[in-house]
Structure formats: structure tokens, C-alpha cells
Chain A
Amino acid sequence: MDCYHCKQDISGNPEFCPACGKILPVPEGRSHYQVLGYDRVIMNLDSADLERRFFHLSKKFHPDRFAGKTPVELQFSHDHSSAINNAYRTLKNPVTRARFLVERELGSIVEKSSSVPADTADLFFEMHDTLDVIRESNGNPPQDAVNQVKAAEADLRRKATVLEEDLQRSFPVYDEQGGKDLVEAMKEKLSHRSYILSFLRQIDSALGRDL
């Protein structure tokens, strides 16, 4: 491939043309990890290191650095910058990072799947009824129903936290051994967590809560 500006050879996917120094298009098919300069998937990321990379790359590619340059260069800087921002947003949060891994390894979209955690199936069943009672009370819910829901809510928040901690505990293990089983297990945790969170949102709306 040749540089769009000076027509020199630019094989090897550099970000700036080695001959004329112009910013080049984002190479296609780069993963979030590659965008941030990691040579492989690392689940147990050091967040300080991640932020350093993000800041360093932002200073290099942000459109502010290309103000007054040609529209083509400005476009490429937007493309680079947006890839950097999207990668950082995905990887800095352990949950979205795990989701990224699951989608990559298993090809399934976790976001849309949520399954009831087996150990709390009964609780959910009960709560659905109690929530209905609250919803139909026209803003005047029986106190015991509210208490019941609040107790369940605290329990569910704890469970969601435990799931997140479990998830993160599996990161260093995955980095060492890899393996599809681990990814499957992560997927299940994510899916349980997402069920719990959507249920917590239902509680919020039934109780008429708004931050």
C-alpha cells in the first residue's frame, strides 16, 4: 500500500507515514486490545497502565491535534480517536471487558441474553407477585410489600456484586490457562448479572424511584 499523500510504500500498518509524517487511516480489523497497543488479550488489566495508554494515544490522535489540517487528515484523526475511545470504554470496565471476550470467543451477543440464576429462581417468582401488588396500589403500596421488596433488593445487589467479583477472579486464571470453559462460565455470570440488574430496574420503577 502507498501513502495517500507522498505515495511512498507504507506496508506494516504504521499510524503515520514514515516518509512524510502524515496521519494514515486506521488499519482494518484491529481489536480493542490492538488499538491500545496490547499484543494479546489480557483480562487482568492494570487500570493505571490502561489509562496511561489511553492518555498517551489521545494526545497523539485527538482531532484537537489536527485542527487546521486537511479534511482527510482530520477525518483519519477522528477515526483513530474514536477507535481509541471505544476501545478504552470497553476495556476499562471489567464487565464490558468480559462481554467483549465472550462475544469474541463464543460469537454470541451477551447483552441480549439474560438468564435466571438457579439459586434465586424462587425469590424472583415471589417478587414478581409482590411487585404487581405494589404497581396496582396506585401509589399507596402496603408497607409489608415494600419492606419485602427492599429486603430482596439488598440481597440482589449483594449477589450482583458477588458475580462481578467472581468474574474478575477468573481473569488472571484465564490469562494463564485460557480455555473455552472459562469463557462459558463468564458468559453465565454475565447473563445472571444482567437478569438481576434488569430486575432491580423493575423494582426502581415499581417504587416510583428516580435518582
Chain B
Amino acid sequence: MGLEIGIGSAAQEKPLAVGIDLGTTNSLVAYVKNGQPVVMNGPDGKSLVPSVVSFQPENLFVGTAAKRYLLTDSQRTVYSVKRLMGKGIDDIRQELHLLSYPILGHGKEIVKIQVNNREYTAPEVSAMILKELKFIAEKELKRSVVQAVITVPAYFNDAQRQATKDAGKLAGLDVLRILNEPTAAALAYGLDQIKEGIIAVFDLGGGTFDISILKVKDGIFQVLSTNGDTHLGGDDIDNRLSEFLMDMIRKFGWKSEWDTNLIQVVRNAAERAKCDLSDNDQTLIRIPLGPENFELALLRSDFEALIGDIIERTLRPCRRALADAGLEPQQIDEVVLVGGSTRMPLVRRSVQDLFARIPRCELNPDEVVALGAAIQADILAGTSREEMLLLDVTPLSLGIETYGGGMAKLIERNSTIPTSATEYFTTFVDGQTSIDVHVLQGDRELAKDNRSLSRFQLKGIDPMPAGLPRIEVMFMIDANGILNVTARDMRTGKLQSIEVKPTYGLTDEEVEKMLMDSMESAESDFAARMLIDARNDADIVLRATNKAILHADDFLTEVEKEAVFRAKQDLEEATKGLDHSLIRIGIEKLDQATQRLAQGIMDKTIADALRNKSLDELSEEAEKTTYK
């Protein structure tokens, strides 16, 4: 970013698809560059984009820019929206008190988020995060990015997967695949770390936990089993520590007239303390409360005692996944750690105890899922890698409600996808022209204990005596883990019309309408966005120039110096205007004018090792060297 020294990458015009890790707390985008997956950095220079959207009256903020409003305007700042994907109000009642923004739920419909007198669905908010990632990618790659692979927790059900796919569509992406996060991580490790064997991927993220067991052989990544808990992650640890701190704060003598943001301030402190305790044996928590400070020294051992039962909840899914794969822990060749929460020493010890081997973590646990998604995107874009193939499974059994409220299983959990099952339906009453079918996901005996996926009606059946019609219904779980249903009248051989109404989701029409609505405001959003972005870049370049210019006399002629000053002034002028393209031109010109200066500083202070570094890094180096 900023002034780049060296030769920029030539525009690649081969098919390009990115991999996106849409996380509960952070999201990332990556792509494959010269055969290797790399993450892309956002405007703040970091690859992690906080999954936060803040609806400020004058502007919409996403990522780091939105995160600061968590502390000051938590009513209009939406976080952890992934937890709301594909959910009804009854699903999330227990965690409503943890969310500072208002949530609306009407009966069995999907929940809505209310901000500034408007209602947003979770896919719409997720789409805003996805748009930000798309934007980051387009800026880095200097071309439009449409195709993407988006990851989801392996244990996501059909509604949650569909909601993620809808979010992608709303963000203007062509979603090539919904990919399971642990599978993506396995792919990233498989690229050059692990070539053969049975691997267990232990993925404890911000909000979800997955365990997947894979067999890697001959370039095939075959998932043998997966299990998890879509309500278990770093968030739960932050909440536990926050509740503990709130208790202490109350005991500390403080009244409950807190402003609405206190919970966020405490959560923030809790999260920092948690991270701190991954590297240190103790930490000091300090929370400003009016004129005084609340202070607490927390030992790692006390922290571990406080959260021990949360970490223990990962063990049962692990045992179940092993049982479903028909394996004993000692048959696992490698265990791979994924997700920021696996940085906690307690997590590492638990995993090590369970599998009796030291888990691997060479790849950054925050980035590995996005890297894997990028590889899968590369495979799907058809660039190469014909030897690699992912074979994933469906995490939950699929069935239909039987007469009397039971569930008849049609597809067993951990079946390799795509997979299908055929079921035959008939009528109970003479002259009956339609049949209702209720599709469920889960492993419980009774329909009411399983997740309702959708209801559909087989319509237009010719009136006949009961039991005579025969309708063949095919339930197909596609490569995304999403259900598709088709029906055929066995007598006529004709395709039967079905109207599938998702229990917790959007219909295709609703997604279309949202897409149209967002198109209208998209153009003005985009221009505003381009301006902010250009100004930010200009700022970085100007700061770098101001530092470097101190050394101008050593390297530049008067004429050259004059050119640099002029270019600098022009850019400063341009940033005051509203035309982002003028700012871009200014940046370009200043870049050219300072090229010799940058070259000079580089030659003088540091040798070839630091080629390709940007000028602001270089001038920092230069300053250090000068003042030695």
C-alpha cells in the first residue's frame, strides 16, 4: 500500500475466485497468488476484518471502523450476526441479553435486527460484511471480484447454510461453494504440510466449534465424520468472564445505573484479558467506572477454573466424531488447531490429552480457513489442481415427519455429499389432491425435537381413490450441504410442482427484492466509499512523503525536490475535494515524483533484503539508522 517500490504484479486475466471466511467475530478474504494462498489486508493493514457493522446516521461502517462504535453506540452497532443466521426468536432467547442491539422476532419467522427504524435480516447484515471483503479484494487485485467460496461451520444446518448463500447473493457475489471451515483448514494444511493420513481438525472459533476427521490420500480429502456445537466459542468465554466481572463490579459497590455501553466496555476488557492470559500467567484488568477504576489481577489458573466447563464441552463432539468415523483417538495421525480460541493453553492441553499427541498449529489459526477457502476457490475456478478433491459430508441426519409425530430418517448424518434419497408418497383420503411434507434435520426420534427445515406441498394430484397416487420425491443434498427437493408423479412420469417454504429462511422472491432494494442505494454508497478509501490512501502516502522528505537533500536535485513538493501540494489539495479519481491521480503523481528519493533511501540505509518494502516502512528504518 502507499508508495510501492519495485515492480507491481502484472494483471492476471485468468479466472479468479476468492475464498472468504465469514466469521462470528472476524472475517477474512484470501486468494491464490502464484499457486500459494494469501490473505488480503483491509484499509487498516490487517487481514482480520471485525464482523461488525455500525449504522451511523450519516454513514455505514464495517470492520475496524465499526468496531469503535461498540463502546459508544452499541445500540446501532451489530456484532456476532453469524449467531442469528437462519434462526427464529425461540432459538436465541437465551442469548438475547448478550446482544446490545434490538432484535425482533415474529413467531416462527427468522429474527430481524432493528436499527434506525429499519429492520434488517441477518443475511442482509452479513452481506454488508461480505461487500467490505469484496471491496478489499477488488482494491488489492485491481479488478472486479465476483466469484467466491464462503465458509461455514461444518455443523451449520440447512437454514444456516442457505442464509449464508443468500448473504453472498445480496453482496453481489456468485457463491461457487459453501465450504465447511474445518475442511477448508485441512485443505490449507494439505497443500504442503500433510500429504497422507487421518487428520482431526479441531476448530474453536469466535462463536462455533467444529471437529472434523478426514482421510487424506492421493490428493483426496475425504471427510469421515464431523460434529460440533454451533453455540460454543470464544464469545462464550468472553461472556463468562464478563459476567464474572459484572458480579465483581456490583460487589465493588456500584449501582446498576450503568449506561447501555457498560456491558460492551466490560466485554472488551474481558476479551483483552483472555488474549493476554494466552501468553502470560496473569493479567491486570482495569475498567474505568466514572471517577474511579475497577481493577483486578487475574491469574491464568483462576481464569482456567472459571471457563473449564466451557472447554470441556468440546470433548463430547470429539468423541462422537471419532465414534462415527469408527476410530480410536490413537488412530489419528495428526491433530490440527484452527480458530483464534485454540491459542488458549487450556484448549491445547485438552486436545493434547484427548488425542494423546501434540496438536499442530504452524498455520495462523485465524487465517487458515480463509487460505483453504482460497484453494477451493482456485480449484473451482478451474485453474489447475486437478489432482485435489474435497469429499465432504452432511453433519446432520435428514428426515421427514411421519404420521404420529415421529421422524423417518432418509439420509444419515456423515453421509458423503452430494447424496440423495427417494421416498414415495400417496394419499389417505379419496379425491385428495395434495400432500403435505415436513422436512426435518437432526437425530432425535421425535419430529418436534429436530430442526424444522421446510414444509412443502405436493399439489395438483389427480383426484383418485386413497392410496392409488404414487408420488416419487427425491431429496438431494448438494455439494454445498443444501437440500433440494424434486417430485415426480409415477403414473404420468411428469414432474410434480412443489412449493418449498423454508421454516427459518428467506424465499427466493424475498432475496430478489432485497437485492433490488440494495441496488438502488448501492451507487451512492459506492462513490462515498471510494472517496473515503482514496483519502485514506492519500493520507498514508502523504505521511510517508513527509518523513522521507527529511532526507531529500541527500538524494535529489533542486528540480526534483521542487517536483516532489508540487506533487505533494496537489495531492493535499485533491483530498479536500469530493472526486476520488483526482485523489488517485494525485497519489500516482506523488508516487512517481518520490521514486528516486525512495530508491536513494533504500540504497543507502538497507541493502537488497528490503526491496519491495513501502516507503513509509523504509523511512522508519531510515530514521532509526540515522539516529544511531
Contacts and interface: CB of A to CB of B under 8 A. Distances in A.
Interface in A64-118: 64-65, 67-68, 78-79, 81-82, 85-86, 88-89
B389 to A, nearest CB: 5
Interface stretch (B43-51, B75-83, B411-419): B411-419
Contact of A67 (B176, B416, B417): B176
B478 A62 contact: no
A64 B381 contact: no
Sorting the interface of chain B by its residue count into under 10, 10 to 19, 20 to 34 or 35 or more gives 20 to 34
B493 to A, nearest CB: 12
Contacts of B320: 211
Contact of B391 (A62, A67, A86): A62
B479 interface: yes
A55 interface: yes
B147 to A, nearest CB: 9
Which of B319, B323, B382 has most chain A Cβ within 10 Å?
B382
Given A58-B220, A211-B316, A211-B320, A82 B420 contact: yes
A63 B418 contact: yes
A64 B379 contact: yes
Interface in B403-423: 415-420
Contacts of A62: 389, 391, 479
Contacts of B417: 82, 85
Contacts of A86: 415, 419-420
B499 to A, nearest CB: 20
Interface string B383-399: 00010011100000000
B415 A89 contact: yes
B416 A55 contact: no
A78 B478 contact: yes
A86 B420 CA distance: 8
A7 interface: no
B597 interface: no
A63 B177 CA distance: 10
A68 B418 contact: no
A122 interface: no
B419 A85 contact: yes
Interface of A is mostly: helix
Interface string B321-336: 0010000000000000
Interface string B417-442: 11110000000000000000000000
Contacts of A64: 177, 379-380, 389-390, 479
B188 to A, nearest CB: 17
B180 to A, nearest CB: 14
A55 B218 contact: yes
A78 B316 contact: no
Interface in A165-211: 210-211
A78 B391 contact: no
B415 A63 contact: no
A5 interface: no
A64 B385 CA distance: 11
A105 B382 CA distance: 44
Given A58-B391, A62-B389, A64-B479, A78 B418 contact: yes
A83 to B, nearest CB: 8
A85 B415 contact: yes
Interface string A23-64: 000000000000000000000000000000001001100111
B476 interface: yes
A62 B222 CA distance: 12
Contact of B418 (A67, A85, A88): A85
B516 to A, nearest CB: 23
Given A64-B380, A78-B479, A210-B316, A59 B220 contact: yes
A200 B320 CA distance: 17
Nearest to A59: B389
Nearest to B317: A211
Nearest to B215: A51
Contacts of B444: none
B407 to A, nearest CB: 15
B473 to A, nearest CB: 15
Interface string B467-479: 0000000001011
B272 interface: no
Max chain B C-beta neighbours (<10 A), residue from A59, A67, A79, A88: A67
Given A64-B380, A67-B176, A89 B389 contact: no
B309 to A, nearest CB: 16
A82 B316 CA distance: 30
Contacts of B479: 62-64, 78, 81
Interface of B: 15, 176-177, 217-218, 220, 316, 319-320, 323, 379-382, 386, 389-391, 415-420, 476, 478-479
Interface of A: 55, 58-59, 62-65, 67-68, 78-79, 81-82, 85-86, 88-89, 210-211
Given A64-B390, A85-B391, 10 more contacts: A62-B391, A63-B478, A82-B419, A82-B420, A85-B415, A85-B416, A88-B416, A89-B419, A210-B316, A211-B319
- The 5 A-B residue pairs whose C-beta atoms are closest, nearest first, are A67-B380, A85-B416, A63-B479, A82-B418, A82-B420
